[in-house]
Amino acid sequence: MLAFTIRRLFEAAIVMLTVALMAFVLFRFVGDPINQMVGQDTSLAEREELRERLGLNDPVLVQFGRFIWNAARYDFGISYQVKRPVTSLIAERFPATFELALTAAFFAILLGIPMGVYTGIHRDSWLSKLFLSVSLIGISLPTFLIGILLIYVFAVQLGVLPSFGRGEVVRIGGWTTGLLTASGLKALILPAITLGLFQMTLVTRLVRSQMLEVLRTDYIKFARARGLGDRAVNFGHALKNTLIPVITIIGLQLGAIIAFAIITETVFQWPGMGLMFIQAVQNADIPVMSAYLLLVAFLFVLINLIVDLLYVWIDPRVRIYGREA
């Protein structure tokens, strides 16, 4: 277990270093940082002085080391566009994305698992077919189209839900939350559904195929032969055994939710990190781009690591393999 953990940590570190190198190359070589910072009328001498002061004349390796050292201390420089530290921008934007992603994940799980269980047990009922058709459409409709459709129905036609922003937010310490006000909650509904729909179809399909597989096994037949009721067999025996892969996939999908939040946040003008990233891409705001890249990579690597370790902890077979390797 310890050897496995150390090896995984080592691999995670290598991935992070690779991403850091990419972020550094982006930061240092895509566009001239000095040109981005100063105006037209700055003299060459002043530019050279700024270059020296920022350490841009040092050997590239020294600069890379400094970049990593700064990133490790959570310092990503100053945004070209708004001239403020990138970290304070992120601190402002993070709560919005976090609340949106979490709500979407809850929505996906709370609807996806029951739908998956139902379609797994009642394979041929018309309701199952309906669920599966809806899930196929959910996979075929791009996220932004779902968002636009929801806006058109609920904001434009019915006028019951807001189409952009977070509504009123409450500030608790450094964290802003929209979960405590009525307008904040209302504003959360459409973006959360948009973001969660794809994940929901994924969970439904996964739970369904797992249920179908488990329901065929001998111990389920034996449980039925013992005279256990449908409820006990379906939920006590079958569902319990489908949950390990489901938990893994949901864990890994948290990363995808954060990535897809970029699209949802753009459609709903949700003031989160995704919208910040898109604006940074459009304005060539390199420090924000490389900071976002590093943070997202860190989140993904962390999630992958936790899922891997959980797997070892849950499934003894993986533990044996880990010891051998």
Partner 1 sequence: MSAEDQGLPMAETSRAATAAPRGILTRIFDSDLWYSFRSSRLVMAAATVTLLMVGAALLAPVIAPHDPYDLRALNLMDSDLPPVWVQGGDPRFLLGTDDQGRDILSTILYGTRSSIAISVLAVLLAIGIGVSLGLVAGYFGGIVDTIIMRIADVKLTFPAILVALLINGIAQTLFKGRLGGAEFWILVLSIGLSFWVQYARTVRGMTLVEKNKEYVQAARLIGLSRAAIMFKHVLPNVLSPVLVIGTINLALAVITEATLSFLGVGLPPTEPSLGTMIQIGNKYLFSGSWWMVAFPGLTLAILVLAVNLLGDWLRDALNPKLR
How far apart are CB 155 and partner 1 at their closest, in Å? Answer: 8
Cβ atoms of residues 18 and 68 within 8 Å: no
Cβ atoms of residues 167 and 184 within 8 Å: yes
Cα distance between residue 49 and residue 34, in whole Å: 10
Nearer to partner 1, 142 or 229 (CB): 142
How far apart are CB 141 and partner 1 at their closest, in Å? Answer: 5
Residue found by looking up tokens 């420090």 in the block: 287
Nearer to partner 1, 109 or 294 (CB): 294
Nearer to partner 1, 238 or 297 (CB): 297
Q: Which residues bind partner 1 (CB under 8 A)?
A: 14-15, 18-19, 26, 30-31, 136-137, 139-145, 148-149, 151-152, 156, 163, 255-256, 259-260, 262-263, 266-267, 278, 281-282, 284, 286, 289, 293, 296-297, 300-301, 304
Nearer to partner 1, 12 or 185 (CB): 12
Half-sphere exposure of 294 (CA within 13 A, CB side): 28
Nearer to partner 1, 131 or 237 (CB): 131
Torsional sign, CA 275, 278, 283, 285: positive
How far apart are CB 129 and partner 1 at their closest, in Å? Answer: 12
Residue in 125, 122, 124 with CA at minimum distance from that of residue 114: 122
How far apart are CB 282 and partner 1 at their closest, in Å? Answer: 6
Cα distance between residue 272 and residue 98, in whole Å: 8
Residue found by looking up tokens 């952009």 in the block: 164
How far apart are CB 230 and partner 1 at their closest, in Å? Answer: 28
